[in-house]
């Protein structure tokens, strides 16, 4: 299978740099720069609105780009993608309501930081982490796209299943202090994920004749309810306890914050990049895994959930790194790994470009302009967002009565706009009550969200693997990558079991 | 993803962009209302063949209608999720969808508990037809269909074969192929054409049953990593892939047949306008060229002719759907 044209590109580093440089020059043309800027700005706004995520944002704005040339249009759409990913963080930190699902995990510590007057620091570190993650992942795309395509292809159903099992084993990393409570939440999440049409055979499960349930519970209304509405209910109650809003202490991270964040940002970049390559994983899973990983690795895991900056830095970085890495299978194979890259693929094709093995050879100027735009877009986003942080933080001074009503309005509006359906609003409000009850019972909501996202992927991968092996479970042991993840999963479970026992003996924690 | 969000965002985006959003030829007819958005449901994953060509046709239909058409993917359960959503959508013509024969005919199987039948939809017209192709990775030991069949016959139930999903055309084609040649594959049903192509590229399955449009960019002759062994058709194709029949295997033709439908009971003027827009799109030189380049054959038909085609497909595929359950 000699394809010298495509195979030679990664080796010719000098030529790569030359092409990248030309790409940067293309992006720096005033028109394209303006599109990148507008995309970042619009994307941030869409991200701030709860409910509307990157896929919906891009879908809405594709018509705006219809009159533009291909390069300008794709630059703008990619910038919107990045903008949304960052914008979603803002509401997670300020009001505990993720603007899009991938920012949900940022609520855990970002919002706690805001409660302690460190909203500015949380937003800054998220912006910086996003910049670093996005930039390094883009460099990975530049120099390693073609070899990494092989890695992406190495992930068949058994590998994806094993990877997801490992992801599930990290769920204990999302436990606040009680493992059992985290597992309760995780299992409820798995059960909720069973609702809907069976993904392999097509039989309806637990739908009780309700058509809207055929598609299962939408992840976005569930997350908005659990975090946003749940917190809203709790804080209405808290009003009577007369807790003063803390003064804002500093907007920029201190040297201590930077030291604490450096390793999580580095790990978040790596984790996000690798998971971004695997088709079908999406951007939510990397953020949760990064959070769980940071908590596992931390010497002071008890600070997580109490405003640990590592819990913001890692996931926010992973989120953007995986977004950039997910473009690799799109460019090199023409196979989109997520809803967002699928929309970009659609936009490519509307412009008469067919992503696939031949794209790098046939349309080098275009491809490199897009890649360069990712670098420039990341920089624009950083420059755009850092000065805005004081403005966002000042929102916290809005009187509580007005703020709570506004949050409720935005959540309802956002949930309704997902499918123009009141059903999503009901789901969100229902899960708001669940979130409130979980809060009261001290059950963490994050494990529920993680299993809700993972379970459908897990089920499809398991069933496809067993179809491949004609029912033989050894398929997960005979394949090296799958075996590796299974071993990691077992080690992870063993370690946390050991820790629990140690805690029990010490009597320091309830199980 | 419809009106309210657009309105909301148009307001936020500011006047400069708002003017750009609404651009396009002014609609003279009473349907569609200017400023509305049509949602086109693709009941398969993004990146599959149906999705790819739907995203090419809809901008042309949008031009003809003067309102934007937004493609949304509602994959899962071999199109049943998306088709159910379409059948239950408001019958105002602002939600349309793409269906594939034979996949969408799964309602013929009572076990699927489909919430719809043919009567649940208003036909608009056929969009395109694709050939079914059997392909392997370029480093596979199989150079010809004969070698594959010989190996599969000697080792029944061992060779894995990817399909794009239960009751997808690829799945029914695989079953039809097994029946005609007497071989027995271990069928692996993915969720859409994109994932099944990825799995075959990755070497996770021995062979794959694909639609030509999904396979084309990955073909050896186009710089890709897959080798087409045979087209399951009685007609020659422009991509120089030999037919199964020409290699001595009497396999019937299985071609995914994609069309556009709307929920039952949409206004007659909406049906007429959509049918006209589809005609304009299919006669567009760009679309004709793109169809040939991407492995699709196109030809417009009236809603009435499309209904006849639908009934014929029901009769042809009902026995195979019975077999697929076993």
Which chain B residue has the Cα nearest residue A150?
A: B202
Separation between Cα atoms, residue B261 and residue B203, nearest integer Å = 36
Helix (H) or strand (E) holding B95: strand B95-101
pLDDT at A366: 80
Antiparallel, parallel or unpaired: β A204-205 and B226-231: unpaired
DSSP single-letter state for residue B210: E
Q: Which residues of chain B have pLDDT under 70?
A: 1-29, 46-48, 76-77, 325-326
- Tell me: pLDDT of A9 over 50: no
Please name the fold of domain B36-129+256-324: D-Maltodextrin-Binding Protein; domain 2 (3.40.190)
At residue A1, the 3 state secondary structure works out as coil
Q: Is A419's Cβ below 8 Å from some Cβ in B?
A: yes
- Looking at chain B from residue 281 to 310, which residues have their Cβ under 8 Å from any Cβ of chain A? 294
Q: B203: burial class by Cβ within 10 Å (0-12, 13-18, 19+)?
A: middle
Separation between Cα atoms, residue B110 and residue A232, nearest integer Å = 46
Cα four-point dihedral sign A457, A459, A460, A463: positive
**Is A248:A119 a contact under the CB 8 Å cutoff?**
yes
Which chain A residue has the Cα nearest residue B163?
A: A464
* Cross-chain CB nearest to B194 (options A214, A336, A349): A336
- Looking at chain B from residue 161 to 190, which residues have their Cβ under 8 Å from any Cβ of chain A? 166-167, 186-190
Taking residues A9-17, what's their average pLDDT? 64
pLDDT at A115: 86
Radius of gyration over alpha carbons of chain A, in Å?
22
Q: Is B214's Cβ below 8 Å from some Cβ in A?
A: no
Dihedral (C-alpha) B84, B86, B88, B93: value to the nearest 10 degrees?
-170
pLDDT at A244: 53
Query: DSSP for B130-152?
Result: E-EEEEEETTSS--SHHHHHHHH
Distance to chain B for A329, nearest Cα, Å: 10
The answer for residues whose C-beta is within 8 angstroms of residue A490's C-beta and 6 or more apart is A169
pLDDT at A300: 86
- Tell me: pLDDT of A507 over 60: no
- Domain at B132-247, CATH from 3.40.190.10, 3.20.20.140, 3.10.20.30, 1.25.40.10: 3.40.190.10
Separation between Cα atoms, residue B264 and residue B91, nearest integer Å = 6
DSSP single-letter state for residue A226: I
**Interchain proximity B72–A59, CB inside 8 Å:** yes
Which chain A residue has the Cα nearest residue B286?
A: A352
Segment A142-176, tens digit of pLDDT: 888 777 878 888 888 999 999 999 988 887 777 76
- Tell me: pLDDT of A243 over 60: no
**Is B261:B96 a contact under the CB 8 Å cutoff?**
yes
The region of weakest confidence among A131-140, A329-338, B136-145 is: A329-338
**Is A353:A70 a contact under the CB 8 Å cutoff?**
yes
pLDDT at A247: 61
Chain centroid offset of residue A61 CA? 21
Antiparallel, parallel or unpaired: β B160-163 and B186-189: parallel
Decide which of A115 and B94 is more confident: B94
- Tell me: pLDDT of A270 over 90: yes
Q: A391: burial class by Cβ within 10 Å (0-12, 13-18, 19+)?
A: exposed
Separation between Cα atoms, residue A378 and residue A130, nearest integer Å = 8
Query: DSSP for B13-77?
Result: H-HHHHHHHT-SPPP-SSSSPTT--EEEEE-S-TTSHHHHHHHHHHHHHHHHHTS-EEEEE---G
At residue B188, the 3 state secondary structure works out as strand
Q: Is B76's Cβ below 8 Å from some Cβ in A?
A: yes
Taking residues A263-275, what's their average pLDDT? 93
Segment A395-421, tens digit of pLDDT: 878 887 888 888 888 888 888 877 667
**Is A323:A134 a contact under the CB 8 Å cutoff?**
yes
pLDDT at B75: 72
**Interchain proximity B1–A339, CB inside 8 Å:** no
- Residues of chain B with Cβ-Cβ distance to A214 below 8 Å are 81, 84-85, 115
Which string of b and e fits B209-235 if b means at least 16 CB within 10 Å?
bbbbbbbbbbbeeebbbbbbbbbbbee
Antiparallel, parallel or unpaired: β A196-197 and B226-231: unpaired
Separation between Cα atoms, residue B170 and residue B163, nearest integer Å = 5
Decide which of B51 and A92 is more confident: A92
pLDDT at B25: 43
pLDDT at B267: 94
Q: What value, to the nearest 5°, has the Cα angle with vertex A299 and ends A298 and A302? A: 80
Radius of gyration over alpha carbons of chain B, in Å?
20
- Tell me: pLDDT of A276 over 50: yes
DSSP single-letter state for residue B249: -
Decide which of A8 and B109 is more confident: B109
**Interchain proximity B223–A342, CB inside 8 Å:** no
pLDDT at A29: 87
Choosing among A7, A42, A63, which should be mutated to test the B contact, i.e. which has the most B CBs within 10 A? A63
Helix (H) or strand (E) holding B208: strand B207-211
User: Where do the domains of chain B lie?
Assistant: 36-129+256-324, 132-247
Decide which of A242 and A98 is more confident: A98
Distances (CA, A) of A468 to A292, A474, B150, B160, B292: 31, 11, 20, 6, 34
- Intra-chain end-to-end CA distance of chain B, in Å: 39
Separation between Cα atoms, residue B311 and residue A335, nearest integer Å = 34
**Interchain proximity A60–B5, CB inside 8 Å:** yes
pLDDT at A176: 66
DSSP single-letter state for residue A109: I
**Percent of chain A as helix, strand, coil, to the nearest 5:** 75, 0, 20
Percent of chain A with pLDDT over 70: 88
Band of residue A200 on the pLDDT scale cut at 50, 70, 90: low
The answer for residues whose C-beta is within 8 angstroms of residue A401's C-beta and 6 or more apart is none
The region of weakest confidence among A29-33, A276-280, A359-363, B70-74 is: A359-363
Query: Which range among A134-143, A240-249, B276-285 has the greatest average pLDDT?
Result: B276-285
Average pLDDT taken over every residue of chain A: 83
- Residues of chain A with Cβ-Cβ distance to B115 below 8 Å are 211, 214
Q: Is B222's Cβ below 8 Å from some Cβ in A?
A: yes
The answer for residues whose C-beta is within 8 angstroms of residue A134's C-beta and 6 or more apart is A82, A320, A321, A323, A324, A374, A377, A378, A381
**Is A318:A282 a contact under the CB 8 Å cutoff?**
no
The answer for residues whose C-beta is within 8 angstroms of residue A443's C-beta and 6 or more apart is A181, A182, A184, A185
Helix (H) or strand (E) holding B96: strand B95-101
Neighbours of A306 (CB within 10 A): 15
Decide which of B263 and A27 is more confident: B263
Q: Is A13 left (phi over 0), alpha (psi -120 to 50) or beta?
A: alpha
Say how many residues make up chain A. Answer: 511
Separation between Cα atoms, residue A145 and residue A426, nearest integer Å = 43
**Is A284:A102 a contact under the CB 8 Å cutoff?**
yes
Separation between Cα atoms, residue B165 and residue B171, nearest integer Å = 7
């Amino acid at each position: 299978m000699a394809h010298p044209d495509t195979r030679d590109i990664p080796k010719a580093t000098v030529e790569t740099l030359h092409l990248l440089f030309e790409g940067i020059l293309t992006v720096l043309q005033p028109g394209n720069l303006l599109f990148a800027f507008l995309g970042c700005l619009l994307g941030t706004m869409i991200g701030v609105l709860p409910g509307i995520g990157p896929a919906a944002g891009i879908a809405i704005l594709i018509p705006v780009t219809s009159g533009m040339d291909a390069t300008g249009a794709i630059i703008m759409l990619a910038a919107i993608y990045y903008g949304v990913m960052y914008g979603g963080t803002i509401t997670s930190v300020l009001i505990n309501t993720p603007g899009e699902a991938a920012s949900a995990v940022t609520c855990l510590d970002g919002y706690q930081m805001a409660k302690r007057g460190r909203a500015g620091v949380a937003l800054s570190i998220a912006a910086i982490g996003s910049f670093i993650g996005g930039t390094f992942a883009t460099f990975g795309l530049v120099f390693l796209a073609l070899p990494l395509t092989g890695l992406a292809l190495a992930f068949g159903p058994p590998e994806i299943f094993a990877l997801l099992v490992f992801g599930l084993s990290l769920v204990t990393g999302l436990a606040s202090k009680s493992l059992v409570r985290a597992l309760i939440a995780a299992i409820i999440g798995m059960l909720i994920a069973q609702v809907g049409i069976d993904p392999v055979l097509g039989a309806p499960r637990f739908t009780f004749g309700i058509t809207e349930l055929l598609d299962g519970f939408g992840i976005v209304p569930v997350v908005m309810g659990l975090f946003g509405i749940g917190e809203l209910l709790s804080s209405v109650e808290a009003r009577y306890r007369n807790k003063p809003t803390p003064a804002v202490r500093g907007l920029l991270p201190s040297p201590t914050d930077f030291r604490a964040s450096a390793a999580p940002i580095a790990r978040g970049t790596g984790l996000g990049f690798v998971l971004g390559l695997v088709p079908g994983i999406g951007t939510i899973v990397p953020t949760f895994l990064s959070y769980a990983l940071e908590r596992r690795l931390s010497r002071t895991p008890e600070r997580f959930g109490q405003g640990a900056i590592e819990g913001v830095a890692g996931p926010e970085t992973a989120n953007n790194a995986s977004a950039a890495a997910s473009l690799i299978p799109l460019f090199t194979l023409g196979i989109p790994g997520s809803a967002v890259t699928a929309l970009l693929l659609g936009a490519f094709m509307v412009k008469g470009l067919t992503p696939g093995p031949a794209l790098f050879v046939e349309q080098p100027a275009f491809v490199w302009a897009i890649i360069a735009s990712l670098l420039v877009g990341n920089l624009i986003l950083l420059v755009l967002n850092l000065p805005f942080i004081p403005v966002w933080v000042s929102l916290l001074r809005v009187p509580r009565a007005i703020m709570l009503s506004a949050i409720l309005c935005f959540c309802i509006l956002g949930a309704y706009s997902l499918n123009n359906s009141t059903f999503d609003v009901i789901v969100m409000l229902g899960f708001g009550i669940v979130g409130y009850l979980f809060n009261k019972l001290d059950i963490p909501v994050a494990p529920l969200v993680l299993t809700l996202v993972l379970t459908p992927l897990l089920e499809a991968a398991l069933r496809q693997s067993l179809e491949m092996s004609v029912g033989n479970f050894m398929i997960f042991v005979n394949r090296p990558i799958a075996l590796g993840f299974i071993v990691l999963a077992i080690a992870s479970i063993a370690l946390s079991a050991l820790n629990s026992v140690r805690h029990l003996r010490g009597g320091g924690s309830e199980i | 993803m419809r009106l309210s969000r657009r309105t909301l965002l148009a307001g936020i985006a500011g006047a400069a962009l708002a003017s750009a959003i609404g651009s396009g030829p002014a609609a003279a007819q009473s349907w569609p209302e200017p400023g509305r958005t049509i949602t086109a449901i693709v009941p398969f994953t993004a990146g599959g063949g149906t999705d790819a060509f739907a995203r090419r046709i809809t901008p042309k239909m949008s031009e003809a209608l003067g309102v934007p058409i937004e493609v949304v993917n509602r994959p899962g359960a071999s199109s049943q999720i998306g088709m159910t959503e379409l059948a239950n959508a408001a019958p105002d013509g602002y939600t349309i969808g793409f269906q594939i024969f034979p996949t969408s005919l799964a309602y013929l199987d009572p076990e699927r508990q489909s919430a719809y039948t043919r009567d649940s939809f208003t036909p608009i017209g056929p969009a395109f037809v694709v050939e079914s192709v059997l392909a392997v990775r370029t480093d596979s030991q199989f150079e010809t269909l004969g070698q594959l069949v010989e190996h599969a016959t000697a080792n029944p139930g061992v060779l894995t074969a990817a399909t794009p999903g239960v009751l997808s055309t690829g799945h029914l084609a695989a079953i039809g192929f097994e029946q005609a040649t007497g071989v027995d594959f271990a069928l692996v049903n993915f969720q859409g054409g994109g994932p099944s192509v990825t799995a075959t590229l990755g070497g996770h399955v021995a062979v794959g049953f694909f639609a030509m449009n999904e396979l084309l960019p990955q073909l050896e002759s186009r710089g890709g990593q897959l080798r087409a062994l045979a087209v399951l058709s009685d007609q020659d194709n422009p991509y120089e892939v030999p037919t199964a029949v020409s290699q001595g295997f009497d396999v019937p033709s299985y071609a995914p047949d994609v069309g556009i439908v709307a929920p039952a009971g949409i206004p007659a003027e909406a049906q007429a306008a959509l049918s006209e827009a589809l005609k304009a799109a299919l006669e567009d030189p760009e679309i004709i060229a793109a169809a040939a380049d991407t492995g699709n054959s196109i030809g417009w038909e009236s809603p009435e002719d499309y209904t006849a085609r639908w009934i014929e497909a029901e009769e042809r595929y009902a026995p195979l759907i019975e077999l697929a359950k076993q």
